[in-house]
Amino acid sequence: MKIQCAEAPIFRSRLASTPIHCSVTLTQADDADRECIYRIRHDVYACELRQHHLNAEGRLTDTLDEHNVYLVAKVQGEVAGFVSITPPTAPSYSIDKYANRGRLPFAVDKGLYEVRLLTVTKPRRGRELATLLMYAAFRWIEAHSGTHIAAIGRREILDLYLKTGLQPVGISAKSGEVTYDFLHASVAEVRARLEDYAGLLARLESGTQWQLNFPFRKPAACFHGGAFFSAIGERFDALEKRHDIINADVLDAWFPPSPRVLAALQTDLPWLLRTSPPTSCAGMAEAVAAARGVAPHNLLPGAGSSDLIFRAFREWLAPASHALILDPTYGEYAHVLENVIGCTTDRLTLRRSDGYQVDLARLEAALSDRYDLVVLVNPNSPTGRHVPRFELEQVLRRVPSGTRVWIDETYVEYAGENQSLERFSAASENVIVCKSMSKVYALSGARAAYLCAGPHQLEALRAITPPWVVSLPAQVAAVRALEDADYYASRYRETHALRDGLASDFSALGWEVLPGIANFLLCHLPDHGPTAATIVQAGRERGLFLRDASLMGSHLGPRSIRIAVKDGRTNQRMVEILRQVLCCP
Mark whether 177 and 65 lie in a shared domain.
Answer: yes
Distance CA 399, CA 370 (A): 8
Mark whether 363 and 425 lie in a shared domain.
Answer: yes
Residues 6+ apart with CB under 8 A from 443: 257, 261, 437, 474, 477, 478, 481
47 falls within a domain:
yes
325 falls within a domain:
yes
> Which of the 8 DSSP states describes residue 471?
-
Report the domain count for the chain. Answer: 3
Distance CA 564, CA 504 (A): 14
Mark whether 239 and 275 lie in a shared domain.
Answer: no
Mark whether 97 and 206 lie in a shared domain.
Answer: yes
115 falls within a domain:
yes
150 falls within a domain:
yes
Per-residue pLDDT of the chain (585 residues; tens, 9 = 90+): 344 444 333 333 333 333 445 689 999 999 999 999 999 989 888 888 888 888 888 888 888 889 999 999 999 899 999 999 999 999 999 999 888 999 999 999 999 999 999 999 887 776 688 899 999 999 999 999 999 999 988 888 888 888 889 999 999 988 888 888 999 999 999 999 988 888 888 889 988 999 998 889 887 766 666 677 777 788 888 888 888 889 999 999 999 999 999 999 999 999 999 999 999 999 999 999 999 999 999 999 999 999 999 999 999 999 999 999 999 999 999 999 998 999 999 999 999 999 999 999 999 999 988 999 999 999 999 999 999 999 999 999 999 989 999 999 999 999 998 999 999 999 999 999 999 999 999 999 999 999 999 999 999 999 999 999 999 999 999 999 999 999 999 999 999 999 999 999 999 999 999 989 999 999 999 998 899 999 999 999 999 999 999 888 888 999 999 999 999 999 999 999 999 999 876
Mark whether 372 and 501 lie in a shared domain.
Answer: no
Mark whether 99 and 53 lie in a shared domain.
Answer: yes
Query: What is the span of the domain harbouring residue 479?
Result: 259-483
State which of 483, 510, 528 marks the end of a domain: 483
Mark whether 462 and 499 lie in a shared domain.
Answer: no
Mark whether 454 and 495 lie in a shared domain.
Answer: no
222 falls within a domain:
no
273 falls within a domain:
yes
Mark whether 353 and 455 lie in a shared domain.
Answer: yes
10 falls within a domain:
no
Beta bridge partners of 404: 373
State which of 443, 459, 483 marks the end of a domain: 483
CATH number of the domain within which 108 lies: 3.40.630.30
Distance CA 334, CA 548 (A): 17
Mark whether 158 and 282 lie in a shared domain.
Answer: no
Closest listed residue to residue 128, CA positions, set 178, 214, 197: 197
CATH number of the domain within which 523 lies: 3.90.1150.10
The answer to whether the Cα torsion of 266, 272, 277, 283 is positive or negative is negative
Distance CA 438, CA 534 (A): 30
Is the full-model pTM beyond 0.85?
Answer: no
Given a contact cutoff of 8 angstroms between Cβ atoms, the answer to whether 74 and 96 are in contact is no
Question: Quick one: how far is CA 517 from the chain centroid?
Answer: 28
Residue burial 305-329, b: 16+ Cβ < 10 Å; e: rest? bbbbbbbbbeebbeeebbbbbbbbb
Distance CA 329, CA 403 (A): 20
Distance CA 397, CA 392 (A): 9
Phi, psi (deg, nearest 5) at residue 304 = 90, 160
522 falls within a domain:
yes
Mark whether 236 and 297 lie in a shared domain.
Answer: no
CATH number of the domain within which 332 lies: 3.40.640.10
Mark whether 233 and 278 lie in a shared domain.
Answer: no
